[in-house]
Amino acid sequence: MTEVIRRVRPGDETELTAMIHELAEFERAADQCTVTENQLRQALFGDPVTVNGHIVEVDGQAAAGALWFTNFSTWDGVAGIYLEDLYVRPQFRRRGLARKILATLARECVERGYSRLTWAVLDWNVNAIALYDAVGGTQQSDWITYRVSGPELSALASELP
C-alpha cells in the first residue's frame, strides 16, 4: 500500500469537491452544501488564493483531503492555520490518515513559524474528538462560535448606507 500526502494541484478540485459533498452528507447537512468544482478551483488556484489544501492518495486513489487557510493571532502576533475541513473516505478510515494530515499541517505551522493549528468539530463526532484528544488538541469550551450568513448576512450588510 502506497500513501502519498501532498499539496493539492490543479485537477484535484474534482475529487475534493466530491469529498466536500460526502462530508456534508456525513455531517447531516447535504442540503446546505452548494460548492462547485469551479468555485473550489478558483479558491485554490485563483488570484488571490483563498484556501489551501492537501490530498492523500492511497495506491493512486484520492482517500482523504484537507482544506485550510491562514489566520492571525493578535495575541501571539503571528499567523496560524485554521483547518476548515478534514475528510477521510469511509473505506480508508482507521489507517491513521487523519492523524497524518494533522501532523503534516503541524509541520507546516512549525516550518513557517506559525503559533497554532485550529479547527472545529461537531459535538457528536466522537471518533474525530477521540483523535483530536489523542494528538493533544485542547477543546476551547470557553469560546462560543458565531456565524452570520444568508439573509442575516445581507441584512447586516444593508445597515450601512
Q: What is the CATH classification number for the domain harbouring 85?
A: 3.40.630.30
Helix and strand element counts for the chain (H, E): 5, 5
Average pLDDT over every residue of 48-56:
98
Provide the domain limits for residue 94.
3-157
Task: Summarize pLDDT for 99-119 with one digit per residue, the tens.
Answer: 999 999 999 999 999 999 999
Total of domains in the chain: 1
Task: Summarize pLDDT for 69-101 with one digit per residue, the tens.
Answer: 999 999 999 999 999 999 999 999 999 999 999
Single pTM value for the model: 0.92
In sequence order, the 6+-apart residues with CB closer than 8 A to the CB of 37 are 13, 14, 17
